[in-house]
Amino acid sequence: MVSNFIDRNFIKHKEYCENEEYKGWDPYDGLNSKVFQALPFKKYDIARLAWIQGFKRSPINLRKVLMVPKEYNAKGIALFLNGYCNLYQAAKNGNTSYGRPVELLDNIRSLGELLISLKTEGYSGAAWGYNFDWQARRLFLFKKNTPTVVATSFAVDALIKAYEITKDREFLNTALSAADFVMNDLNRTEKENGFLFSYSPLNGNNTVYNASLLGSKILAICYHYTKNEKYYEAAKASVQACVDQQREDGSWLYGELKVQNWIDSFHTGYNLDALSYFQKYTGDYTYQDNIKRGFDYYINNFFLADGTPKYYHDKVYPIDIHCPGQLPVTLSSLNKFNEHKELTDKVMQWTFDNMQDEKGFFYYQMKKGLSSKIPYMRWSQAFMFYGISHYIKENSKNA
């Protein structure tokens, strides 16, 4: 059985991540290099951009020789926390292959506390960023730990799930305070109907659809627990602005800038996931047709018949590990897992066969030529842990 094959190989993956203590490298962590920080070039945007891209694109891992340390990444820890919450639910349903509920509870509590310790201080509410400086093209520099709505949304989702299991009020209160970050610290780009939340409090990346929808996701969750109508109203305004930009065929471009006019797999999944959360946590089903059209486009355009996951709608390569990782998440969120289980089995089988190393970690990307097999912790290991845990949780319901 495919699920048994995945169980065996996921155990290797889980052991790898636990042995690394969830610390690792990232595709974008080049500026953490102690060598680069000692050079005068660090003052120049073009040098920072070239250095990051060199690290990201190289199939050879330069991080040890250029002194980039393995570190915690807040989004990565949130993904692991979410994953352990799913494994806990699977264990409660009878699948204890990854630990008994009491053991998994220890993982949930320790990762929840770690995640809270990683939040960025100085904002209106709880917020999380990345553990490295990031030069986004030449337009702007995100300094280390600058909070983003993306990292914050994953943290909020994970802490809420951890709260529902542990009933630890610190997890709940920290998550709910993130609504103030979204409401007060993110920029808004006004549209004909509603507005778009920015990617971060800094100017730049102000018109990315998945980022705005993840802001709505945070507010919808917080509305559910607080019944603060301002959260619902702002969440709906952002959702409306984003669905207005959905194309006739159900797809979304990544963003409004000319350099953001692509359509890809996992960001489409993010959009659908956020819309499903908006429905679930607000009870507002206005956008059910948008979800249906978006999902039809997603499921019909990003996966080949043999289970190969595509990155873009019109080409396969590079195959990014996020593409298969997001599939069980989206299916779980939209309650479509059983309907598409055969495809999911094929995608998971293909991914384990082609993108998992014998040591247990997953590769970053596969290309037609030389692929990157560097074991990135946030991008590859945490995201696949998160995705496979959804697969395991959904399968446990049918055991």
Q: The tokens 């429905």 sit on which residue?
A: 279
Contact predicate 331/273, CB 8 Å = no
CA distances from 69 to 31, 65, 364 (A): 11, 10, 18
Contact predicate 130/151, CB 8 Å = yes
pLDDT (0 to 100) of residue 1: 53
| Structure token pair of residue 365 | 């990307």
Report pLDDT digits (tens) over 98-125. 999 999 999 999 999 999 999 999 999 9
Report pLDDT digits (tens) over 127-154. 999 999 988 765 678 899 999 999 999 9
Query: What is the greatest pairwise CA distance in the chain?
Result: 59
Number of other CB atoms surrounding residue 12 within 10 Å:
15
pLDDT (0 to 100) of residue 232: 98
Number of other CB atoms surrounding residue 180 within 10 Å:
16
Give SS3 for 309.
strand
| Structure token pair of residue 343 | 């495809």
Query: Nearest 5°: phi and psi at 351?
Result: -65, -45
Low-confidence ranges of the chain (pLDDT < 50): none
| Structure token pair of residue 356 | 């998992």
| Structure token pair of residue 9 | 């190989």
| Structure token pair of residue 78 | 């949130």
Contact predicate 262/253, CB 8 Å = yes
Can you tell me the distance from the alpha carbon of 305 to that of 37, in angstroms, rounded to the nearest whole number?
A: 47
Give SS3 for 46.
helix
Report pLDDT digits (tens) over 49-82. 988 988 888 888 999 999 999 999 999 999 999 9
pLDDT (0 to 100) of residue 38: 93
Closest-CA residue to 348 (of 333, 329, 367): 329
Alpha helices by DSSP H, the chain: 2-19, 34-37, 45-57, 74-92, 101-117, 149-166, 169-185, 209-226, 229-243, 265-282, 288-301, 322-333, 341-355, 383-397
Cis peptide before 318 (omega within 30 of 0): yes
Give SS3 for 204.
coil
Closest-CA residue to 283 (of 212, 229, 337): 229
